[in-house]
Amino acid sequence: MNYKEILENILKNGIPKQSVRFDSNNNPIPVENGTIGTFCEIFRHDMSQGFPLTTLRKMPFKSMCVELEGFIKGVTDKRWYQERGCKFWDEWANPQHVNEITEVKNNPESKNEHQKLTHDLGPIYGYQWRKFNKEYKDGTIGNQKAWFPYDNGGDEKGTDQLRSIVDKLKTNPYDRRMVCSAWNPNQIHLMALPSCHVLHQVVVYGNKLNLTWFQRSCDSTHGVPNNIASYALLLMLYCEESGLEPGELVGVLSDCHVYENTIEAAKELVSRQENKLPTIKIKRKNDGSFSIFEWTWDEVELIDYNPHPPIDMGKVTV
């Protein structure tokens, strides 16, 4: 199925559900908007058919690229994203700090602490990709380390899953264990948002690099189209690093839903016809070299992207 077909199926067959989140004391709280949803939609795309950035509406491609760079680098401070124009994380903060923020925000003497609390996202996606299960401690404020949590003297070094995949692509590309997990039950209570897309796997056949990801929670109007493009770009970055050719991108979308406040916008989306998909070009350094770990969001060019006009998709439900 492609993105439009998934959205059409949810609108046609979605079952109502009122989801909940949990506060810092682990008490359930109903989210602001209910949903209609379906179980386990499968997105599948042959990368030779173009880059799967939907044309049903103009998408924030730059913000998606910034976020992916942040994940690859393990960034856990929202200011890093905001300073590069990505607002995806504006509404979120480390839940351990929610009550503390209220206590300190009106105290002038606690200004720096308040800044630290509101900007800390906890050990989200990139932290798990690069330092899985390493004991988490907030980054410092006011210098380069603000973006990267520092060692706190513990024995746990964490696991760099991303580097393991890159190394295997170069030495043993047919390995069936090129898996990267962002789901860490031991640290969920520290995350601004428990990982929605929880793992991805790279599978190579011949000279084709394929990528599949599993997503537990799938906001199909706001999140999913960005997730599709983000994993497509990650697939392309793996190819650039390894010299392999792009194959297929597959997403297993488990709880696939549309929030009630975005149903009308979703109906407008599916009334449109997809235009021809764009392509992308990944830029190398001036000396011709490339490293996924040194890649930056502005080193990718989106070519021939002709989307329909933007739609007001409504407020993101948090």
Residue 119 is assigned to a structural domain of this protein: yes
| Local confidence band at 318 (pLDDT 50, 70, 90 cut-offs) | low
Bridge partner list, 280: 302
For the chain, what is the mean pLDDT? 87
Per-residue pLDDT at 107 exceeds 90: no
**Cα 51 from Cα 157, distance rounded (Å):** 36
| Local confidence band at 150 (pLDDT 50, 70, 90 cut-offs) | very low
**Cα 293 from Cα 139, distance rounded (Å):** 20
Per-residue pLDDT at 306 exceeds 70: yes
| CATH number of the CATH domain containing 289 | 3.30.572.10
Supply 80's token pair: 């890093």
Residue 317 is assigned to a structural domain of this protein: no
Q: Are 54 and 117 in contact (CB under 8 A)?
A: no
Q: How many domains does the chain have?
A: 1
Chain centroid to Cα 285, Å, comes to: 25
Pick the catalytic residue: 86, 180, 196, 256? 196
Per-residue pLDDT at 58 exceeds 70: yes
Instruction: Give residues with Cβ within 8 angstroms of 294, minimum separation 6.
Output: 285
1-55: pLDDT as tens digits: 999 999 999 999 999 998 887 766 778 888 888 999 999 999 999 999 999 999 9
Residue 143 is assigned to a structural domain of this protein: no
Q: Which structural domain, as residue segments, surrounds residue 27? A: 3-137+149-303
Which among 263, 38, 73 is positioned nearest to 149, based on CA atoms? 73
Residue 318 is assigned to a structural domain of this protein: no
pLDDT value for 117 = 54
279-291: pLDDT as tens digits: 999 999 989 999 9
Per-residue pLDDT at 155 exceeds 80: no
Angle at alpha carbon of residue 214, lines to 210 and 218, rounded to 5° = 125
Residue 261 is assigned to a structural domain of this protein: yes
Q: Tell me whether residue 180 is one of the annotated catalytic residues.
A: no
**Cα 279 from Cα 51, distance rounded (Å):** 5
Per-residue pLDDT at 103 exceeds 60: no
**Cα 45 from Cα 251, distance rounded (Å):** 9
pLDDT value for 151 = 37
pLDDT value for 137 = 75
Residue 308 is assigned to a structural domain of this protein: no
185-235: pLDDT as tens digits: 999 888 988 999 999 999 999 999 999 999 999 999 999 999 999 999 999
Among 80-89, 111-120, 229-238, the minimum mean pLDDT is found in: 111-120
